[in-house]
């Protein structure tokens, strides 16, 4: 019997027990982390790893896009922003352009901080469920 990595098990438990709003924050955190790693790999001229990390960010943005409830205008606005970010990621990957990744980083960090603040407000107001995207 193979022993599972305790950190991996902890992460899996955190995802499985998270509320929808917290899952969204986890996705934003992952996108920020992978984008920073992509920038670093481009700086180090490791194009294969940069490609890998850019694709991870693209995967996260895709997940954010497909899970939006498009019944709300704000969701449609977010979808447009995610679509723009995804197109910029593809362009950054094709051109191996660090500046584009830095632009994406600004968007990701702003989205993450806005979402984190919204979660704090929901929790402090006592509304259950933390809401979705």
Q: How far apart are CA 68 and CA 70, in angstroms?
A: 6
Which domains does the chain show, CATH number per domain?
19-119 (1.20.120.340)
pLDDT in tens, 57-89: 999 999 999 999 999 999 999 999 999 999 999
Tokens 């850019």 belong to residue: 54
Q: What angle do CA 56, 14, 107 make, to 5 degrees?
A: 40
The one-digit pLDDT tens for each residue of the chain (133 residues) are 566 787 566 556 565 666 889 999 999 999 999 999 999 999 999 999 999 999 999 999 999 999 999 999 999 999 999 999 999 999 999 999 999 999 999 999 999 999 999 999 998 887 654 444 4
Q: Under 8 Å CB-to-CB from 30, ≥6 apart: which residues? A: 56, 60
> Rg of the chain's alpha carbons, rounded to an integer?
16
């Amino acid at each position: 019997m193979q022993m599972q990595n305790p950190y991996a098990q902890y992460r899996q438990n955190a995802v499985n027990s998270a509320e929808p709003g917290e899952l969204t924050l986890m996705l934003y955190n992952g996108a920020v982390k992978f984008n920073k790693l992509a920038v670093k790999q481009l700086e180090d001229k490791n194009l294969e790893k940069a490609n890998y990390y850019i694709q991870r960010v693209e995967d996260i943005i895709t997940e954010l896009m497909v899970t939006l409830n498009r019944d709300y205008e704000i969701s449609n606005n977010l979808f447009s922003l995610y679509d723009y970010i995804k197109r910029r990621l593809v362009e950054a990957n094709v051109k191996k352009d660090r500046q584009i990744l830095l632009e994406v980083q600004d968007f990701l960090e702003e989205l993450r901080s806005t979402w984190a603040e919204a979660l704090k407000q929901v929790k402090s107001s006592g509304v259950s469920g933390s809401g979705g995207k």
